[in-house]
Amino acid sequence: MLRDYLSQEIENKFRAERKWFGNNSWEATYGAAYEYVKYNNRTDESRFDPATGGLLPIAYATDFKAHKYGVFATASRRLLEERLSVAAGFRMDGSTLGEGLKNPLKQFSPSSIGVLCVRSGVDMECQRRAVFSIAGIYHLGLRAVR
């Protein structure tokens, strides 16, 4: 078998993010992301064909391009003398990989989480953390996982 193979995978990424610190231990992060991905492959191959005793030529080429885009936001607040932190947020992603993925509203993924810090001792450092998810829906492709 003889093979001549050339492939490229190119990704250009942009992400803009802003963090806001408010009163009463409120914080928020929000932003947007964009990616341009390109993949191309050229394969020329010759395989031995036992039926003819000669070489069978095989040629394959692809040029794949896609755009990925999304927005996200998270708001959080520390409570109970900063022992409890609660957060809620969302992501919306879209891409040109398939017709069902183009609309970011169809890939809406809300989530929420809480972190409880148990403190002991004079230094009041967090000794243990209990993390719990209050709710969340995560999209993997076209299927939602709850």
Task: Work out the pLDDT band at 124, boundaries 50, 70, 90.
Answer: low
What pLDDT was estimated at residue 6? 86
User: Which pLDDT does position 99 carry in this prediction?
Assistant: 85
Question: Residue 54 corresponds to which tokens in the numbers above?
Answer: 């000669």
CB 91 within 8 A of CB 68: no
Burial of 107 (0-12, 13-18, 19+ CB in 10 A): buried
Q: What is the pLDDT of residue 143?
A: 42
Tell me the DSSP string of 15-39.
EEEEEEE-STTEEEEEEEEEEEEEE
Q: How far apart are CA 114 and CA 81, in angstroms?
A: 15
Give the three-class secondary structure for 107.
helix
pLDDT at 47 over 90: no
pTM of the model: 0.65
pLDDT tens digits along 58-93: 898 989 899 999 999 999 888 877 777 888 888 899
